[in-house]
Amino acid sequence: MSSPARKLRSNFPRGSYLWAVRNAQWQGMGLSEADAEKPKIAIVNSSSGLAACYAHLDGIVPVLKEAIRAAGGVPLEVRTTAPSDFVVGAGGRGAYMLASRDLVTNDIEAQVEGALLDGMVCLASCDKTVPGQLMAAARLNIPTLLVCTGYQPSGEYDGEHVDIEDVFVAAMHAQVGRLDVERVVGMSRQAIRGPGVCSGMGTANSMHIATEALGLALPGSTPVAANGAAMWAAVRAAGARIVAMVWSDLKPRDILTPGAFANAVRAVLAVGGSVNCIKHLQAVATEAASAVDVYGLFETLAPQTPVLAGVRPVGLHTIEQFDAAGGCRALLQQLLPLLDGEAPTVSGATLAANLAAAAVADAEVIRPLHRPVAAREAITLLRGTLAPGFGIVKTGIAPRKTRRFSGPAVCFDSSDAAIQALQDGGVRPGQVLVMRGAGVCGGPGMGGGASRVVFAIDGAGLAEQVAMLTDGHLSGLVCKGLVVAEVAPEGAVCGPLALVHDGDTISIDLDTRRCDLVVDAAELERRRAAWRPAAPLFDRGWLQIYRRSVGPLAEGAVLTREPR
């Protein structure tokens, strides 16, 4: 397939320096001069032997290459870092988890932009690879589509379902002495029965769905079982479609319209998805040089968007049931009256056209607008004197015993200190546990184990008796208790969280969307004048670069600022 009206950016005059040295390299790889004139497509493979999330990606590449060649393109595989929170969260106080997202983006830029390739197919898996690849697509703005490579099969232990979320929760219950360690060991042996991402509606599956709703994944391709028939169909279709996208010059910024971002926000809200989608989608908007305020969209659209599907950990259904009921395409079909149906997509058709033949196979799993799982939003943004930027609560869909909470603060500067206090009985009913220094700058990279503290509170039997505030982020699998996360500005830049003292009264109200510190303004000014930042962590390597360059959460925490 060729297009005489479309000059490929990867091609150079025959015999020129760039043509000649590339030809020498590619001849050595068996690529003919005729083939080297065709569209050159990067297969972005974030493969790794460290985690089950990525265990199947190398097997996908040959099939994708075959499909690209059959469509008239030349596939060229490139690699990126491949983070999995449950593995790379061990070092650097957890700082590598979010920081690795931006490393994925920059890995892609260095190879794909450096080589001036014509398009990309990104193999999206674990939760940081999805936004990292979307950010690269928005930044480079060359024809791109994502193939979301599916969820892992979970297992059974003692006759009950067990998945990675259950293991995470159980491990923290064991740490505070509420569960036998050997039970945790047994659960860990059965929780994951094959490759793919975490099987609940955590950040990975939420971002897979958001990607399809944005229009950057083919319709009907999320969520799918890893190595299942639907995944392989999406792989083959992507190989054919990306070559056509190159010839038609359909680029990410053509697709990433304000309506597309609103569609993605609605989709995440309708499944009660991960709160981490907020900063990730904002990061994509920032890289696309878009003026879209994703935080504002979540704040505005949440009260207008009912929850139509309750997948673990928000509800009782499994990701397999959601997939069988029609997945993202069926969800969007139910949501269509609230969506921008004219938004363009990688298919070449509008979102509404993509949904014309969509069907809901089980209306109990993916419900219609008039009969939602929950009419009240599952994600709530708060503001107030303690969170003048914002704070985020995963409110979930179960009726809450507590929508208002007021109590004295008990403050910690690390997750280890907070967990030790929970083990020792140092956190009491009625208190508000404050854990700070875990934001994008202070962590850095939001490392710091806020999710561990949440599950430890649950394990200590205090989930309904204390509240928690943190400038850290939560795993997409966290949906327990009253927790205000990602409080902004963060403590490390002297946000109000840094000025809280033990015993100060904190008030949280989900109905008025307020989070306030009940302390005299003059006293706060005295504290601010006396405040000194903690010594920065990490003075070398990638984490130093990240710490010095990361921007605020309101911009998606991307590396766009001049180093401080």
- Which residues are annotated as catalytic? 475
Q: How far, in Å, CA of 9 to CA of 7, rounded?
A: 6
Which tokens belong to 474?
């939560």
Cis check: omega of the bond before 368, within 30 degrees of 0: no
φ, ψ of residue 283 to 5 degrees: the values are -60, -40
Question: 3-state secondary structure string, 111-152?
Answer: HHHCCCCCEEEEEECCCCHHHHHHHHHHHHCCCEEEEECCEC
φ, ψ of residue 199 to 5 degrees: the values are -85, -5
DSSP conformational letter for 252: H
Q: Are 213 and 263 in contact (CB under 8 A)?
A: yes
Place of tokens 């929970």: 422
Residue 242 Cα distances to 41, 142, 144, 215, 288, angstroms:
8, 11, 7, 14, 20
Q: How far, in Å, CA of 515 to CA of 507, rounded?
A: 6
Helix (H/G/I), strand (E/B), else coil: 398: coil
Which tokens belong to 12?
């150079």
Dihedral-angle region of residue 167 (phi above 0 means left; psi in -120 to 50 means alpha; beta otherwise): alpha
Quick one: which of 65, 326, 343, 114 has its CA closest to 214? 343
Q: How far, in Å, CA of 524 to CA of 504, rounded?
A: 11
Q: Are 500 and 437 in contact (CB under 8 A)?
A: no
Side chain identity at 337, as an amino acid letter? P
The total of other beta-carbon atoms located within 10 Å of residue 391's CB is: 26
Containing 506, the helix (H) or strand (E) segment is strand 505-509
Q: Are 73 and 38 in contact (CB under 8 A)?
A: yes
Place of tokens 């990607």: 211
Residues 6+ apart with CB under 8 A from 469: 386, 391, 432, 433, 434, 435, 483, 484, 487, 497, 506, 508, 515
Q: How far, in Å, CA of 261 to CA of 214, rounded?
A: 6
Taking each continuous run of H as one helix and of E as one strand, the counts in the chain are: 20, 14
Containing 119, the helix (H) or strand (E) segment is strand 119-124
Q: How far, in Å, CA of 120 to CA of 76, rounded?
A: 9
Q: Are 285 and 265 in contact (CB under 8 A)?
A: no
